[in-house]
Amino acid sequence: MSKISTKLEHLKVGDLIFADIIINPTDIADRSSKSATTSKAKQGKPVRRICLVLEPGKTSVQVTYVPTFKESTTLPSTLDKAMWYPFMPATKEGSLEPLPAMSNGKAQWASLRSKQTIAKDPISDSVPVTTVNLIKAKMKA
């Protein structure tokens, strides 16, 4: 992914950004991990993650995050399959067919748990609007 500093007001649907977000503790794949990222997530502190812009805005954007889960093509068994939308080469494990591959070619999953608001200029890239529309249609909140 190319890393380009972007102003919030220039982001559009489908852009990929690096942003600090809050990860729901139930979305931690390895809850026994002692990593700094896992520790922060368990404490409700923000962690920097790749996020997908769902709704742009002038002063903030709505996003969901798209983890790789250590580049596995299968979703960790500790996670709720209904909360994740796979990107090829990730496999279909729930009811959703995998979305087209991201430009990095890695298996990733879009979190369907909830949208998050980002109000600080991020680093960005992009994915097709049609892919974003499929994810938004399945969002849980």
CB 120 within 8 A of CB 19: yes
Q: What is the pTM of this model?
A: 0.82
The enclosing H or E element of 4 equals: strand 4-5
Domain ranges of the chain: 4-138
From first to last of its 141 residues, the chain has per-residue pLDDT tens of: 445 567 899 999 999 988 999 999 999 998 888 899 889 999 999 999 999 999 999 999 999 999 999 999 999 999 999 999 999 999 998 899 999 999 889 999 999 999 999 998 777 667 788 888 898 999 887
Q: Which amino acid is at 108?
A: Q
Q: What pLDDT is stored for residue 2 in this prediction?
A: 47
CB 3 within 8 A of CB 53: no
Radius of gyration over every alpha carbon of the chain, rounded to an integer in angstroms: 14
Phi first, then psi: give them for residue 40, nearest 5 degrees: -60, -45
Q: What pLDDT is stored for residue 124 in this prediction?
A: 67
Q: Which residue matches tokens 């889960």?
A: 69
Q: What pLDDT is stored for residue 126 in this prediction?
A: 72
Q: What pLDDT is stored for residue 3 in this prediction?
A: 57
